[in-house]
Structure 1
Amino acid sequence: MPSNLARHFLLSEDVVFLNHGSFGACPRPVFETYQAFQRELEAQPVAFLGRELTARMRTPREAFAPYLGTSPENIAAVVNATTGLNIVAQSLDLKPGDEILTTDHEYSALEKTWAYVVRRTGARVVTVEVPMPLVSEAAFTEALLAGMTERTRVLFLSHITSPTALVFPIERAIAAARRRNIITVIDGAHAPGHIPLDLDALGVDYYSGNCHKWLMAPKGSAFLYARPQMQGILNPLVVSHGWTNQSKEPGAMGALGNSPFIDEIEMQGTRDPSAWLAVPAALAFRKEHDWDAVARSCTALAQETAARLTERTGLAPLSSPEFSAPQMVAMPIPDCDPLAIHDALIERYAIEIPVFKWKGQALARVSVQGYNSPEQMDLLVDALSDLLDLARPLSQAMS
């Protein structure tokens, strides 16, 4: 049975939900706060969106910025990390022959974003193969350094990878890029609420992360961080009331009273800002339930589950433990039709989990959140064993 924390979530009891990493799950009290903002908006839309919104949008920035290791002036609300990273990618003044250095573990939507930028600018993407299994920070960093040339203009990395669920040790690579005047852009979609962040100390130029995943805020809440010296080159994807024709130097005033960076990105026409406004409620929920302790338990359960499946498959993990995302593990499984396995898990066991191939290797990516339980992990390991015809350990087979 799920742990008693499951009662705080809205997830269907008919599904064993082991896929928090894809879209997250919002706790009931946070979702109720979100809906309260929506009702308040509908009760007086002109006051909410016309007279009060600038001040309202500031409150989540002030609550969230210390959690990110920066100041409220360095983050702007966006609807998801893909949007934030598109703002950056489409703002960069790239020329034919310029290089965007990245890895073979990136999220497909962002691979398409850079392909679009390449088609428009004549730049090119250079993809580094990360040494696998990932067991050494030095090997990871050296592979990236070897890919840097005098033509490298951008270093684009995931902090936590989506397909392989690895935590990339990005600190030294970012520092090396900074010394070479290479712009650093980090996809932090899975990072907030999952791993500690100190963005100012990291020294990154641009970083975008989702709040709707591991932070457990409602869908439609995310942020874009920009180092103060790099804010001025950004352009909004939509030009609206927040746009200004004035100076974008640090300290300049935007059209709505914030910096141009914040005003231009946050004010892009009528939309529902309630998800972003509920971010402080998500932070409060985490604090009330000591979510750091919950996360430690989830991490232990995720790693234990991966180890049990490894024992049955005999397949080596993708990384040593320190490079595995704490609550999310991509577990190698024998060659199979991943869609058939995924569908069978849903239809026969009511288990929601992604199963796919990455570079020819079949993977099942399990997420463990506070609403999950050891019994659910037992069910997953046994279900995969049945579907993949895996032998159980002798001690279990004889019991």
Structure 2
Amino acid sequence: MNNNIPQYSDLAHHWKLDKDIVFLNHGSFGATPTYISEQQTRYRDIMEREPVDFFVNQWPVLLDRSKKKLAEFVNADPDDLVFVQNTTTGVNQVLNSFLFEPGDEWLVSSHAYGACMLAMKHFCERNKIRLNVIEIPFPVEDDQQILKALQDKITDRTKLALIDHVSSATGMVFPIKKIVDFLRENGVCSLVDGAHAPGMVYLDIRHLNPDFYVANCHKWICAPKGSAFMYVKPDWKHFIKPLIISHYNDTDEGGSSHWANQFMWDGTHDFSAYFCVGDTLDYIEKLHPDGWEGVMNSNHKLVWNAGNLIAEKLGFDLPLRENYIGSILTLPMPDGEEGFPKFNETPPLKQKLYEKYQIQVGKPLIRKIAHQGKSG
């Protein structure tokens, strides 16, 4: 064990993370508690003991139970939610079905996740849609600055905007309710990339009222990899179809569950990550005396206090006010005497962090991420 590694949280034993590594990047891929990994194995064992009975009788019940628990957590109607493998998949589902005419315009934020930005570019190029980028500065001064940047890009041809709830690159929590309302008032549909939101910030989809909302469960909820969800407003259900048409597409036609049923089955594969979402919500909630609210508040306070400590030590101010921070805080590294390194150079600080502390970093930024089961 490296003696330079800080002491882990009292909750660290719930995860299998390597104790010789300072794990500071929970945001990219998440980390699943040991108990949930074991629960996923139990689901797989049930499946393999009697595959036919499992997929005919047990699978729909397990899927429905988990989805109802998730819908309760994000305050949405279960019939308006479907499981998808990840946020990028959900974004592609929406873009593939969205109604358009050549010459329409779509908007995407300059903070957009790279994969989703590429998806927007692909569908715009294929369908002769103009893609406009909303240049939102970082740091940002206030909500009005964000809304002004939006307003400057909206025209009478603008039909859709892809907006982050929490920026993957900077960790900035956007005033998403104000943005969704502003877009609606201007006749623009909202597609919210909420990849980092569930489990990091309070999420109430009924109150938010977006046209589309897509988010991961493997990040801050800590469910297994390959679990995410897509919400579609009832007004749009008739148009949004699955990328893969298969069984259940004709189930309950005319009923309230028909739309969601179309997304249930995209071929034989391991659905255990979906089953575990409900189990994970229950499990993480019990780790804090104040439940999920306590988990989110604790993570926020940890990253906020750590950010202030780092900023004080390095002699600069935090780039964002506290209301724009969830559990991720990006801090600009001050320039050294030689400025930023060239592409093929390894900065001395980066080399030292890896050799002495086993911390791997990329750009000269500090993206501080806090989670209750990891080191502070």
Other-structure match for 1:306: 307
Q: What RMSD in Å do the two structures reach over aligned CA positions? A: 2.0
Other-structure match for 1:381: none
Instruction: State the AA in 2 paired with 1:261.
Output: W
Alignment of 1:71-90 (within 5 A): 71-90=77-96
**Is the contact between residue 207 and residue 226 of structure 1 (CA under 8 Å) also seen in structure 2?**
yes
How many residues are treated as equivalent by the alignment? 359
For 1:5 and 1:107, the matched residues in 2 are separated by: 30
TM-score (norm: length of structure 1): 0.85
Is the counterpart of residue 285 in structure 1 residue 317 in structure 2? Answer: no
Other-structure match for 1:47: 53
Other-structure match for 2:330: 330
Query: How big is the shift at 1:93?
Result: 2.2
Alignment of 1:333-372 (within 5 A): 333-335=333-335, 336-337=340-341, 340=346, 344-352=352-360, 354-356=361-363, 362-372=364-374
Query: How big is the shift at 1:301?
Result: 2.1
Query: How big is the shift at 1:50?
Result: 2.7
Other-structure match for 2:101: 95
Alignment of 1:116-155 (within 5 A): 116-155=122-161
For 1:215 and 1:343, the matched residues in 2 are separated by: 33
For 1:305 and 1:226, the matched residues in 2 are separated by: 37
Q: Deviations over 1:28-81 (max 9, x none)?
A: 111111111111111111111233322221111111111111111111011111
Other-structure match for 1:317: 318
Q: Give percent identity, aligned residues only.
A: 31
Alignment of 1:1-399 (within 5 A): 1-244=7-250, 252-253=254-255, 259-290=257-288, 291-324=292-325, 326-335=326-335, 336-337=340-341, 340=346, 344-352=352-360, 354-356=361-363, 362-374=364-376
TM-score (norm: length of structure 2): 0.90
Query: How big is the shift at 1:243?
Result: 2.5
**Is the contact between residue 160 and residue 190 of structure 1 (CA under 8 Å) also seen in structure 2?**
yes
**Is the contact between residue 78 and residue 266 of structure 1 (CA under 8 Å) also seen in structure 2?**
no
Other-structure match for 1:389: none
Farther off after superposition, 169-178 or 208-217: 169-178
Query: How big is the shift at 1:95?
Result: 2.5
Query: How big is the shift at 1:21?
Result: 0.4
For 2:209 and 2:151, the matched residues in 1 are separated by: 17
Instruction: State the AA in 2 paired with 1:196.
Output: Y
For 1:147 and 1:209, the matched residues in 2 are separated by: 25
For 2:319 and 2:362, the matched residues in 1 are separated by: 15
**Is the contact between residue 200 and residue 227 of structure 1 (CA under 8 Å) also seen in structure 2?**
no
For 1:125 and 1:201, the matched residues in 2 are separated by: 29
* Structure 1, unpaired ranges of 5+: 357-361, 375-399
- Where do 4+ consecutive residues of structure 1 move more than 6 Å? none
Farther off after superposition, 314-323 or 188-197: 314-323
Partner SS, residue 76 of structure 1: strand
Instruction: State the AA in 2 paired with 1:87.
Output: Q
**Is the contact between residue 9 and residue 27 of structure 1 (CA under 8 Å) also seen in structure 2?**
yes
Query: How big is the shift at 1:121?
Result: 0.5
**Is the contact between residue 141 and residue 170 of structure 1 (CA under 8 Å) also seen in structure 2?**
no
For 1:244 and 1:340, the matched residues in 2 are separated by: 57
Other-structure match for 2:4: none
Partner SS, residue 238 of structure 2: helix
Partner SS, residue 262 of structure 1: helix
For 1:347 and 1:243, the matched residues in 2 are separated by: 54
**Is the contact between residue 133 and residue 319 of structure 1 (CA under 8 Å) also seen in structure 2?**
yes
For 2:370 and 2:107, the matched residues in 1 are separated by: 32
For 1:3 and 1:245, the matched residues in 2 are separated by: 48
Partner SS, residue 126 of structure 1: strand
Query: How big is the shift at 1:138?
Result: 1.8
For 2:251 and 2:98, the matched residues in 1 are separated by: 19
For 1:172 and 1:296, the matched residues in 2 are separated by: 22
For 2:282 and 2:63, the matched residues in 1 are separated by: 17
**Is the contact between residue 251 and residue 262 of structure 2 (CA under 8 Å) also seen in structure 1?**
no
Partner SS, residue 131 of structure 2: strand
Partner SS, residue 100 of structure 1: strand
Distance change in 2, residues 1:246/1:35 (3 Å)? closer
Distance change in 2, residues 1:343/1:162 (3 Å)? farther
Other-structure match for 1:388: none
For 2:215 and 2:207, the matched residues in 1 are separated by: 17
**Is the contact between residue 201 and residue 296 of structure 2 (CA under 8 Å) also seen in structure 1?**
no
**Is the contact between residue 37 and residue 224 of structure 2 (CA under 8 Å) also seen in structure 1?**
yes
Partner SS, residue 52 of structure 1: helix
For 2:276 and 2:236, the matched residues in 1 are separated by: 28
* Structure 2, unpaired ranges of 5+: 1-6
Query: How big is the shift at 1:219?
Result: 0.6
Partner SS, residue 331 of structure 2: strand
For 2:222 and 2:251, the matched residues in 1 are separated by: 37
Distance change in 2, residues 1:99/1:245 (3 Å)? farther
